[in-house]
Amino acid sequence: MQQMPEALRIQLAPLERTLSMWPLMLERPNHTRLRQLINKAMTPRIVRSFIPVIQGQVDELLDSALASNSVDFIADIATPYPLNVVSEIIGAPVEGRPLLKACAVDIVNFFGSPPHEYEVRAKTAMRSISEATQMLRDILLMRRKQPAADLISSLVEAEERGDVMSEEEILATCLMMVFAGFETTTNLIGNGLLLLLQHPHIEAQLRNNPDLMRGAIGEMLRHESPVQRLSRMAVDDFTLQNEHIKRGDLIFLMAASANRDDQKFPDPDQFNIERDTKNHLAFGHSIHLCPGNTLAQLETQILFTELFKRTRSIKLVESRPDWQINLSVRSLTRLPIKLAPLEKPLTITPTSTVHHETYEPVPNT
């Protein structure tokens, strides 16, 4: 926003105001205050309570996909699945999901925009945010009168307990959760299935041994990181590898490149589900580690496990992937597949579950 002309920044003030309240954009102490409230609503125990919601969405989408045998995995499964799950978790009605989807997509397009498209994409995102925020505000007003088992009710309850969180912060946080819980999980699922279909021996391993799924998901995140870059602003002048960086300069940290660092991950271009992927940067790191990482992994595990239980084979229709043009995210525009369903689904009970990952924070230097 600071790169834009002053007149344009004034026009876009509502967008800047909303995004500036996202915990994603904040440092301590405001980040700590909001993050603690989100963490209370997204503990691994609470996330696991969402399993019936997740399973219900998987069953509904796979029933439809297997009935037609040939689907676009992105449009028909990977997109609606996490959107529906996060909408239910937040407390948004079914009829509001198209608006939330459009809003999340518009924000992603703005974040991944090249400079010559900043203005038009910013204005589009601002309109979508305004409409989505109004819908969430209506839900929030209803939850004040009649609480439910959803995120908005949890945040309202925290506010009423005296935790410092304004109504605008609640709305901005819910919008951030839609953005973070929808688009990136869609990318994880789409990228992950493509990797498995490009490595049929690994797909076969997972079909025979679902306990390997957790490690496979970590490797999907490392190998095809849904978020390619993280942005930061220099708080002081410094020099890094003979590059002079000034206070206020915008810096892009290439998480996808770090996840291919051969000093950290041997043979980094190899897709290896048995490698140690601890401390990959697909979910960010340190205080900004994504609070929805447990949910994203749980959704992916349940979907792929169920998909393998109910199919004999999955085939790519096109050999060449069709990737989105976006500077920030790694995502497919489409992934046509053919499904060969089993007449009777396999009975598979994985002994492992997705646990909350523990990441060792990297010291600030």
Q: Read off the pLDDT of residues 110-126 as tens digits, 9 standing for 90 and up.
A: 988 888 888 999 999 99
**How far is 262 from 90, CA to CA, in rounded Å?**
39
Residue 323 reports pLDDT greater than 70: yes
Paired tokens of 189:
């699922």
Mean pLDDT of the chain: 88
pLDDT(353) > 60: no
Q: What is the mean pLDDT of residues 189-193?
A: 97
Task: Yes or no: say if 35 and 46 are a contact pair by the CB < 8 Å rule.
Answer: no
Binned at pLDDT 50, 70 and 90, residue 352 comes out as very low
Confidence of residue 159 (pLDDT cuts 50, 70, 90): low
Residue 302: predicted pLDDT: 96
Q: Does the residue 200 lie in any domain? A: yes
Range of the domain at 162: 6-341
Task: Please report the pLDDT score of residue 333 as a whole number.
Answer: 95
CA distance 257 to 183: 20
Would the pLDDT of 248 be above 80? yes
Q: Which helix (H) or strand (E) holds 336?
A: strand 336-341
pLDDT for residue 355: 43
- Residue 94 is assigned to a structural domain of this protein: yes
Q: Is residue 240 part of a domain?
A: yes
- How much is the average pLDDT of 354-363? 36
Polymer length in residues for the chain: 365
CATH label of the domain that carries residue 93: 1.10.630.10
On whether residue 365 sits in a domain, the answer given is: no
Asked whether residue 108 is assigned to any structural domain, the reply reads yes
Q: Kindly tell me if the per-residue pLDDT of 189 is higher than 60.
A: yes
> Higher model confidence: residue 135 or residue 180?
135
Q: How far is CA 147 from CA 42, 50, 135, in A?
A: 18, 17, 17
Least confident of 31-40, 125-134, 317-326: 31-40
Residue 75 counted as domain residue: yes
Give the integer Cα–Cα distance in Å for 189 and 204.
18
Q: What is the pLDDT of residues 223-245, one digit of tens each?
A: 999 999 988 889 999 999 999 99
Mean pLDDT of 330-342: 94
pTM of the model: 0.86
- Burial pattern 101-135, b for ≥16 Cβ within 10 A else e, equals bebbbbbbbbbbbeeeebeebbbbbbebbeebbeb
Query: What angle (nearest 5°) sits at the alpha carbon of residue 287, between those of residues 22 and 256?
Result: 90
Query: Given this model, what pLDDT does residue 135 score?
Result: 94
322 assigned to some structural domain: yes
43 part of a folded domain:
yes
Note the helical H segments in 69-166.
Answer: 73, 80-90, 97-111, 118-145, 151-160
- Looking at the structure of the chain, the number of domains it has is 1
Residue 298 has pLDDT above 50, yes or no: yes
Of residues 24 and 306, more confidently modeled: 306
Q: What does the pLDDT average to over 28-55?
A: 84
